Structure 1
Amino acid sequence: MPFTEVADRIWVARYTWFDVNVTLVGGADGLLVVDTHASGLAAREVVEDVRRLGVGPVVGIVNTHEHFDHTFGNDEFRTSYGAVPIHAHETAAAGTVAAGERIRALYDADRDDPQREEVLATRIVPADHTFSSALTLDLGDRFVELVHPGRGHTGGDLVVRVPDADVLLAGDLVEESAARHAVPGFGGDCYPLEWPWTLDIVLGLTTSASVVVPGHGAPVDRDFVEEQRNAIGIVAENIRTLAAQGVPAEQALAATQWPYPTEELADAVRRGYEQLPRSGKRLPLA
């Protein structure tokens, strides 16, 4: 889909590969690009779409976290627009290269994947402007806030708040994509026990009228985020309860009801058990 304006000078484009969103935030000084797609080749299409939109030059980039589908277009944007600053949370920036190399190894091993060559050809460029808690960017006639609300999908998630437009770009802390049946991305680097608390902070940055743009899928409202927070909260509570009862991690998915398909939760359970303090676990039931 082409870039669509979802609020005053905020445009979102949704790309078929991963159903990923790239967002433009416009100001008097130019455009801030939030996330850059999954390869250099894919990012060239995004750059062409930005130029076709014709609303100004790119003056900065934000990566909402380190995963390749949000960062592998960084180099292409710099090739097209010069050495613009790339902003990310310090944890995400530190992990971008390693995360990208892990993905490249997977694509290298899968010779049948149609995107293999473009992923392998992509130069990984991590963010060079980092922060730990919050940062405000000045686009000339509007301010944009970058906030690290806590750990969830990864350890370095950030959200982008545009106060004057009441828009929040949530990255993969919020998942809407029908391709995943709106199941959050509980991957091998997630923090399932902290994710609900992180979304409490995200909710505190919104109003009842806010437009929330997820990393994948269609924009949503505050009610959607609250419902997803509650479902993720059930995942976290199930992990705590089962571990406290002495249920082994490998038996947890079959031991209770979950709000999401169990095949999507293996990493969530494993990571949750690993992240529990020793006092939160009992010896396995005989």
Structure 2
Amino acid sequence: MPDTSSRFTEVAPRVWVAHYDWMHVNITLVGGSDGLLMVDTHGSAEAARVVADDVRRLGAGPLTGLVNTHEHWDHHFGNATMVEQFGEMPIHATEWARDHIEASAGRTFEHYEQATDHPRREEILATTLHLPTHPFSSAVQLDLGDRAVELIHPGRGHTSGDLVVRIPDADVLLGGDLVEESDPPFIGDDSWPLEWPTTLDLVISLMTDATVVVPGHGQVVDKDFVQAQRVELGVIAETIRDLASRGVPQSQALAEGEWPWDRALLESAVRLGYEHLPRSQKRLPLI
């Protein structure tokens, strides 16, 4: 018999989340009387076709809009598939994300060209880019008919172009990769480790104690989880500031600092943190 089950699970009224094993990616559907809004679209055309089948199995309405939470490939490589399968529709993202998707995707394609033994290499390289069509700068409200959904750029953190999605009537917040549950948040070469904690402060201010929080990767969490993650990111930022202010050189910072995460996860954080610090907060290295 054919599989008629959908991965989408309702986590709040007319808000469904599907969790996919590959990269622990979450795809969210927000339902309104005018149709469904999909937040993020997965990491390849092939993976997105599975998502599209799950949308159909859910049977909650037509797909009428997309949101990309930032410019990294695992959140938008399914855009073209969704448009092919469901028709043209607005694709929302921050202006920064829209302007940097092509360059970011180029680095991804280059990486997988070299990764000849990666099991998903071919499907990733076969993906066609489809850029966001509706960029915004700081905040925008989307009308789903009988429901309003807010897209908010709270500041720089995981990237310069992160957005969060707030569904006020359901008390749900979609955090993108500003919040991760499956692993510690990824601090990469385009992250802002010194600003990420204050960006999360704004995100937390959008929550109540009962808010359902959907991270970019991993299981659904709550406000307490986000606050704990903000504390860890704050410790990382303050440790970088402290080490730099005491004249500890960047090359020794990882070894000398007391870190909340494995040091192997923090190489980019330390390098970027030192680069982003104003000169007034850095002393010359002690000799």
Return 5+ residue gaps in structure 1 as ranges. Answer: none
CA deviation string 1:119-172 (max 9, x = no partner): 111011221101111000000000000000000000000000000000000000
Deviation of 1:92 after TM superposition, in Å, equals 0.8
Aligned equivalents of 1:141, 1:202: Cα separation in 2:
24
Deviation of 1:244 after TM superposition, in Å, equals 1.0
1:35 aligns with 2:36: no
> Matches of residues 89-108 of structure 1 in structure 2 within 5 Å?
89-108=94-113
1:268 aligns with 2:273: no
What corresponds to 2:198 in structure 1? 197
Say which SS state the counterpart of residue 197 (structure 2) adopts.
helix
Structure-1-length-normalised TM-score: 0.97
Amino acid at match of 1:141: D
> Matches of residues 10-49 of structure 1 in structure 2 within 5 Å?
10-49=15-54
What corresponds to 2:3 in structure 1? none
Aligned equivalents of 1:58, 1:91: Cα separation in 2:
25
Q: CA RMSD in A?
A: 0.8
Return 5+ residue gaps in structure 2 as ranges. Answer: 1-5
Amino acid at match of 1:254: A
What corresponds to 1:162 in structure 2? 167
Say which SS state the counterpart of residue 237 (structure 1) adopts.
helix
Paired-residue identity, %:
61
1:52 aligns with 2:53: no
What corresponds to 1:258 in structure 2? 259
Aligned equivalents of 1:106, 1:48: Cα separation in 2:
29
Say which SS state the counterpart of residue 254 (structure 1) adopts.
helix
Total equivalences in the alignment: 282
Deviation of 1:281 after TM superposition, in Å, equals 1.0
Deviation of 1:81 after TM superposition, in Å, equals 1.3
What corresponds to 2:232 in structure 1? 231
Q: Which runs of 4+ in 1 moved over 6 A?
A: none
What corresponds to 1:88 in structure 2? 93
| 8 Å CA contact 1:97, 1:125 repeated in 2 | no
Say which SS state the counterpart of residue 43 (structure 2) adopts.
coil
Say which SS state the counterpart of residue 69 (structure 1) adopts.
helix
Of 123, 126, 130 in structure 1, the residue corresponding to residue 131 of structure 2 is 126
